[in-house]
Amino acid sequence: MPLGYLTAMRKQKLLARLTNNPRDVRFDDLRTLLLDEGFQLERVTGSHHIFSTPDITFAIPVHANRVKSVYVKRVLKLIDQAKGKTG
């Protein structure tokens, strides 16, 4: 397993923390989760970090290493969609 990937327990804890409190989330935590879920950081344009999978592409604006809750909620929804869940 490549370095930097989350263990199953750490990933569950991180997902639970982001789901229960999507405010004031560090971008580093969100990026780690996205990379672990199979998303790739395609490019950074200014403050926008562009992530993608073969089916999904989206941007996350980052300021002072923080992400607004609306984007955290969107990421959680996209992760569910990527796993084949509906919601």
Q: Give buried/exposed letters for 62-71 (b at 16+ CB in 10 A, else e).
A: beeeebbeeb
* Whole-Å CA distances, 27 to 60, 86, 87: 9, 25, 24
- Whether 3 maps to a domain, the answer reads no
- Whether 52 maps to a domain, the answer reads yes
- Give the pLDDT confidence of 20-40 residue by residue, as tens digits: 999 989 999 999 999 999 999
Tokens of 46: 């200014």
- Whether 78 maps to a domain, the answer reads yes
- Whether 63 maps to a domain, the answer reads yes
- Whether 2 maps to a domain, the answer reads no
- Whether 76 maps to a domain, the answer reads yes
CATH number at 53 reads 3.30.920.30
- Whether 87 maps to a domain, the answer reads no
Q: Which residue do the tokens 């969609």 mark?
A: 81
Domain span at residue 49 reads: 8-82
The pTM score is 0.84
- Give the pLDDT confidence of 68-86 residue by residue, as tens digits: 999 999 999 988 887 775 4
- Whether 24 maps to a domain, the answer reads yes
